[in-house]
Amino acid sequence: MTDILSRRDVQFQLHEWLGVERLTERDRYNDQTVDDWNDVLSLAEQIAEDQFQPHNRKADLNEPAIGDDGKVVLIPEVAEALSVLGETGLMAAAMPEEVGGMSLPATVSSAIFAWLHAANVGTTAYPMLTAGAANLLIANGSEDQVDTWVKPMIEGRFHGTMCLSETQAGSSLSDITTKAVPQDDGT
């Protein structure tokens, strides 16, 4: 396959160091197998190699821009890669099946994204941030919001970004000063 990441290193980390197979003993994952996870990781490796790695440099040389119509313009390969990721279900690997996810362990999902990051960190930022925004909606959104937004997000058609409460901070998370404090009423 590829040299973007060592398959042996990934397998060592998952199985020999973390013992990920023990997760199949938990009710949440007892219908999944290590072979299932290895198949998903092979798919992630293939997508990383075929869809993400080839346009790594091109995407760096052609940064996103705002078009005359106000829409974000990216090189077409980014949309193609994200579409494949959505079609395969890997965008929502760790999300619950109830919303269209695969309900895979977070550890396996992290390994999926390790392949994608190794191939093209710039393009992988889109599904990573989208998954974060979708998870926020799943955890806190209304049923209507989840139905309206999460499915197109995990299909790779809609995208999200960081959910910040302090817009002046931009992407500088260390500039955020908001603090959550439990209230007497339990909120």
Question: What confidence score (pLDDT) does residue 169 get?
Answer: 67
Tokens 């990781």: give the residue: 41
Question: What confidence score (pLDDT) does residue 2 get?
Answer: 64
- The 8 Å CB, 24+ separation contacts for 172-178 are none
Q: CATH number of the domain at 12, please.
A: 1.10.540.10
170 domain-assigned: yes
181 domain-assigned: no
Q: What is the DSSP string of 118-134?
A: HH-HHHHHHHHHHHHHH
53 domain-assigned: yes
Question: What confidence score (pLDDT) does residue 180 get?
Answer: 81
Q: What is the pTM of this model?
A: 0.84
Sign of the Cα torsion 59, 65, 71, 72 reads positive
Question: What confidence score (pLDDT) does residue 178 get?
Answer: 76
10-residue mean pLDDT series, the chain (187 residues): 84 95 95 96 97 97 94 94 94 93 96 97 94 93 94 90 68 75 91
**Number of domains, the chain:** 1
Question: What confidence score (pLDDT) does residue 177 get?
Answer: 77
187 domain-assigned: no
185 domain-assigned: no
58 domain-assigned: yes
Residues 6 or more apart whose CB falls under 8 angstroms from that of 56 comprise: 119, 120, 122, 123
Cα–Cα distance, 82 to 48 (Å, whole number): 11
The two three-digit tokens of residue 122, written as one number: 């710039």
Question: What confidence score (pLDDT) does residue 110 get?
Answer: 96
Host domain of residue 121: 7-175
